[in-house]
Structure 1
């Protein structure tokens, strides 16, 4: 008899006791450190275990759980035997998993600096398959709501995916990046899930006619996952972003795609920095640099060095940060190259200045951060509307903390002017932080006007 759904792991739930899922996840992370393991356990992961979605943990989690509960076996903890979960026999008797995000991106775990990929994330076994058939309209890969150029495509299980389908995935990636440049992530994230699910369905629908086409499909789906992850990051959905980046990294590893791997590590490092995990940010950036060394793109190496610098700044490592910035500038000055990834169009002189400003800001050197922030604003390209607001929001905060309240208020007004066109939780959060710093100076006319305007906008 075929099972009809996941079976809750009541034993594991009992072991948690009165602790919340978050508290128990913290205990798991502490236990991992005790034995030299690194797992990115959070409340969501505990929920997946208790619901039965994760029937058997990966090997890292297994070692941690057995350390936490000495003398127990996986069966004693309510898990299924690994051989019952893996392999062809298990797939013949267990239904396909319900749609769910991939596991979070774990932190660096090995001496090689690699980042482990949770084994329960099988990136090629996806949903959108009904009785062996996946129906995917080409329009579902069109992010802006218009129909794609190709006609709707019926994808039987054995259909060979060709140029039209791969081109549609690549087009979706470009559409998302273009709209993000103009509008920010808040209003786009949910809509972006549709083309991403369609891309996963294409991966599942059958083999491609040529190896080159298969490589492009994997790369396109991975880039799409990163783009959707960035929208989640920019809109404050950090767990979702982490999951999307983990999916992209898994696809890169499966396809042996160093460029995709470097991109996934680059974004994972950025996310780790923004969510208060600077050590992970450094190690992810270092892993990205290793993946990128043979790609022939000095600008990519420069960006990854700046991601490393951001992590080192978060650790308070001023010397290490300064060295990483020096490597970044040296690589950047080598100029653009034919091998520069398409997604790096945003990485110009203005972005270089902005990222350095953020490093000095994290180190508490507000005046130096403001100097680089002013350069970023002066150099920025009006094409990137979202960055027009981002750079000004960063500069507003640095000026406020440097004691330059009037200039901060003036710059803050410029950022607020752009928020009718740009929806980004990240940018709003930066302005809110600047407003809090300026509140003690609210008696000054210019500052008071900015604070009032910011408060009015925040209420609406």
Structure 2
């Protein structure tokens, strides 16, 4: 990403491992220690997203000083110690702020998360729109304003000159080959830059629809860096600035989706958080709803169903004033997927009913541009995934078949996805011959589509079909699937 025009308060240096923190972890694994951190957070009413990756980063010295939420949790876990006693650098050396006197309490987070920096917003519930609501005690969420994402809000707030941009400007297709090439100072952005950014988003979506995410993800990172460099450079008019923020947020979501669909869940999470931060800074409800929508989808795929429900509900609160029944329909489906993951059939069915009712109101002028993929085929496909998660394979197969039949040929990736879903549902429903036939059709599409999601589903289907190798067509499918080249 583009760097801020504000000089760093510290020189670049290799991270120094935090051996003190490693010693305090003792014999516990990083995952076990992360669970202890989350429990300690709940004891004092904090909300942190600590996982094994965060623990590794602390111990490696990548996180020199935690945000305030983590600070409160760590001091609660190790009473009588200071941050420096835990192996962290003084906050003043990291942020250039005045060091608090010994015994001072950490500063309370600001009331409005939109005005918070990454460091002061760690205690804020990330899945609220403007009103707080009662959290689930067992719900472990991640904080999109965490110190790990500390550059997000800095870039969003620092809109002065002096930034550099990769490959001069965004190309009309938004697929600059290498971000480090041809760097030069950027003039203040104008209407043409906003148009180029919006076109980059459209182009990436079209390519993803046709070919899947795997071959696009790394190429799309360069225009995303360029987009945030444009924000750093500032805009000639407020209207242009608003378009740039919205475009950068949508591009972050698009790049996040490419990471998501290609199995890079950590990268996707970071990009979605970046988009959400941009939405919060600018008060862009449409962008916020979109970011939460994709976050819910990612949480479902990553095995965090309660997070999926909460993110989908937050998306619906943000989207309600926008006046788009189709958007509300999709968000209800995201919620349904979360309930299915929680094995809550009643909650899932209620969300599915809402989704269908909203969908039946038809398209409208308020429907977001990014929702062009959402039609009856997608509705059927997402419902199929819900029934599959709930173990109702017969019902899931019926919806998946209908999704594949209804899908516009332009959306090649989705046809492959629905067909792979159908193959898996049929296999688990005890219909191996039909499953093999559907699997072969999905394999035919892999010549055009590069999607780790589709390949992963077909791998699951092949495992289910292994005991049925002697069934007509199954052996051919298994052999062909086994011959697929490995993904790099």
TM-score bracket, shorter-length normalisation: 0.7 to 0.9
User: Residue 79 of structure 1 aligns with which residue?
Assistant: 88
Q: Is the 8 A contact 1:107 1:280 kept in 2?
A: no
User: Residue 434 of structure 2 aligns with which residue?
Assistant: 407
Q: Is the 8 A contact 1:141 1:194 kept in 2?
A: no
Tell me the CA shift for residue 72 of structure 1: 1.8
- Bigger helix fraction: 1
Q: Is the 8 A contact 1:39 1:107 kept in 2?
A: no
User: Residue 54 of structure 1 aligns with which residue?
Assistant: 63
User: Residue 76 of structure 2 aligns with which residue?
Assistant: 67
Tell me the CA shift for residue 146 of structure 1: 7.4
Distance 1:289 1:19, change over 3 A: same
Q: Is the 8 A contact 1:6 1:51 kept in 2?
A: no
Distance 1:153 1:439, change over 3 A: closer
Query: Do structure 1's residue 199 and structure 2's residue 224 form an aligned pair?
Result: no
**Cα RMSD (Å) of the superposition?**
2.9
User: Residue 13 of structure 1 aligns with which residue?
Assistant: 22
Tell me the CA shift for residue 320 of structure 1: 0.6
Matches within 5 A, 1:367-446: 367-446=394-473
Distance 1:2 1:435, change over 3 A: closer
Describe the superposition over 1:256-308 as per-residue Cα deviations: whole angstroms up to 9, x where unpaired: 11111000100000000001100000000000000000011111111010000
Describe the superposition over 1:388-441 as per-residue Cα deviations: whole angstroms up to 9, x where unpaired: 100100011111111121111111110000001101111101111111111111
Distance 1:459 1:160 in 2: 45
Query: Do structure 1's residue 353 and structure 2's residue 380 form an aligned pair?
Result: yes
Identify unmatched segments of 5+ residues in structure 2.
Answer: 1-8, 100-121, 136-140
Q: Is the 8 A contact 1:40 1:106 kept in 2?
A: no
Distance 2:414 2:153 in 1: 35
Distance 1:308 1:26 in 2: 26
User: Residue 237 of structure 2 aligns with which residue?
Assistant: 210
User: Residue 284 of structure 2 aligns with which residue?
Assistant: 257
Matches within 5 A, 1:243-392: 243-392=270-419
TM-score, normalising length: structure 1:
0.88
Query: Do structure 1's residue 167 and structure 2's residue 229 form an aligned pair?
Result: no
User: Residue 49 of structure 2 aligns with which residue?
Assistant: 40
Tell me the CA shift for residue 175 of structure 1: 1.2
Distance 1:233 1:456 in 2: 25
**10-19 or 276-285, which moves further after superposition?**
10-19
Distance 1:385 1:144, change over 3 A: farther
Q: Is the 8 A contact 1:11 1:77 kept in 2?
A: yes
Q: Is the 8 A contact 1:108 1:115 kept in 2?
A: no
Distance 1:391 1:67 in 2: 49
Distance 1:107 1:403, change over 3 A: farther
Query: Do structure 1's residue 111 and structure 2's residue 141 form an aligned pair?
Result: no
1:447 to 461, 469, 474: 474
Distance 1:35 1:395 in 2: 47
Distance 1:222 1:80, change over 3 A: same
User: Residue 134 of structure 1 aligns with which residue?
Assistant: 164
Distance 2:97 2:203 in 1: 38
**378-387 or 400-409, which moves further after superposition?**
400-409
Tell me the CA shift for residue 26 of structure 1: 3.4
Distance 2:195 2:174 in 1: 16
Distance 1:236 1:263 in 2: 20
Distance 2:343 2:470 in 1: 34
Identify unmatched segments of 5+ residues in structure 1.
Answer: 91-102
**36-45 or 356-365, which moves further after superposition?**
36-45
Q: Is the 8 A contact 2:214 2:262 kept in 1?
A: yes
Distance 1:432 1:247, change over 3 A: same
User: Residue 123 of structure 1 aligns with which residue?
Assistant: 152
Tell me the CA shift for residue 125 of structure 1: 3.4
Q: Is the 8 A contact 2:249 2:278 kept in 1?
A: yes
Distance 1:36 1:402 in 2: 45
Q: Is the 8 A contact 2:165 2:226 kept in 1?
A: no
Query: Do structure 1's residue 177 and structure 2's residue 218 form an aligned pair?
Result: no
Query: Do structure 1's residue 222 and structure 2's residue 249 form an aligned pair?
Result: yes
Distance 2:448 2:98 in 1: 53
2:11 to 3, 15, 23: 3
